[in-house]
């Protein structure tokens, strides 16, 4: 099966006040196209750091990350931005919604950037917001939404352009059990029906066990 991502001896060290913090130490794994991978491990073990590296938002201190046969490090910042918009859907741990735009506008932004008309992109965004249970909230600003509702807007935003790969950082972290299971079903249905790969950091072992593979960063 062809590989989507390959991580070879990936390490990341941050330096704070001249003292090094080893966030990731020689991480090795690969993920095939159309498969799902859960990244687990205790708080601070480097899950978010790894997801940022996979999305090209930051660079490893050493080691290589390869996406469909190409080194991410060889892409310019502009190339990375286009690649992220076209191939990846990213859900940040802390949402990162644009505060001055409504839920609908936040979700439709990437479609409009990639050239889809405003009316068409609103239509598709409304559909997906309805799927995550936010039909009544589409014209609300992030500040007018609860934490869990913001999380669901971020999830809708990551899925709307049907990316090759979803990268999600604890997408059910802020949700109650009921909404978490709705979102888990939605994510799993979507990746199956649209042949999307999924890389997901989670503390939820029930969710992680539904995925094809798991890597545990606490063993690093």
Looking at 2, 19, 43, 119, which residue binds ligand ATP (CB under 6 A)? Answer: 43
Residue 25 Cβ vs ligand ATP, minimum distance, rounded to whole Å: 11
By CB under 6 A, is residue 147 in contact with ligand ATP? Answer: no
Distance CA 71, CA 145 (A): 39
Q: Which of 23, 19, 116, 107 is nearest to 62 (CA)?
A: 23
A 10 A CB-CB count for 171 gives 28
- Give residues 84-143 in contact with Mg ion (rule: CB under 5 A): 93
Looking at 34, 36, 49, 161, which residue binds ligand ATP (CB under 6 A)? Answer: 49
Identify whether the C-beta of residue 51 lies closer than 8 Å to the C-beta of residue 199: yes
Buried b (16+ CB within 10 A) or exposed e, 97-129: beeeebbbbbbbbbbeeeebeeeebbebbbebb
Residue 22 Cβ vs ligand ATP, minimum distance, rounded to whole Å: 8
Distance CA 73, CA 49 (A): 16
Residue 147 Cβ vs Mg ion, minimum distance, rounded to whole Å: 15
By CB under 6 A, is residue 47 in contact with ligand ATP? Answer: yes
Binding mask 38-77 for Mg ion (x = CB under 5 A): ---------xx-----------------------------
For ligand ATP, the closer CB: 12 or 137: 12
How many residues of this chain bind ligand ATP (CB under 6 A)?
Answer: 12
Identify whether the C-beta of residue 65 lies closer than 8 Å to the C-beta of residue 72: yes
165-169 and 197-201: which strand pairing? Answer: parallel
Residue 202 Cα distances to 38, 45, 78, 130, angstroms: 7, 12, 30, 24
Looking at 32, 93, 179, 181, which residue binds ligand ATP (CB under 6 A)? Answer: 93
Residue 15 Cβ vs ligand ATP, minimum distance, rounded to whole Å: 8
Q: Which residues are near ligand ATP by CB under 6 A?
A: 14, 16, 21, 23, 43-49, 93
Q: Which residues are near Mg ion by CB under 5 A?
A: 47-48, 93
């Amino acid at each position: 099966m062809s590989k989507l991502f390959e991580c070879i001896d990936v390490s990341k060290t941050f330096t704070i006040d001249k003292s090094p913090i080893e966030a990731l130490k020689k991480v090795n794994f690969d993920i095939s196209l159309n498969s799902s991978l859960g990244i687990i491990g205790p708080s601070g073990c480097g899950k978010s750091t790894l997801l940022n590296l996979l999305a090209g938002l930051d660079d490893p201190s050493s080691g290589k990350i390869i996406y469909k046969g190409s080194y991410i490090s060889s892409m310019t910042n502009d190339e990375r931005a286009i690649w992220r918009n076209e191939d990846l859907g990213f859900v940040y741990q802390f949402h990162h919604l644009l505060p001055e735009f409504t839920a609908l506008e936040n979700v439709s932004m990437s479609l409009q950037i990639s050239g889809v008309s405003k009316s068409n992109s609103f239509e598709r965004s409304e559909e997906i917001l309805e799927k995550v249970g936010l039909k009544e909230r589409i014209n609300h600003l992030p500040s007018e939404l609860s934490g869990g509702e913001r999380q669901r807007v971020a999830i809708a935003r990551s899925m709307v352009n049907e990316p090759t790969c979803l990268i999600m950082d604890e997408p059910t972290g802020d949700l109650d059990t009921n909404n978490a299971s709705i979102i888990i079903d939605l994510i799993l249905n979507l990746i199956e029906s649209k042949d999307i790969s999924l890389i997901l950091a989670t503390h939820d072992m029930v969710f992680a066990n539904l995925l094809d593979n798991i890597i545990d960063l606490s063993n690093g």
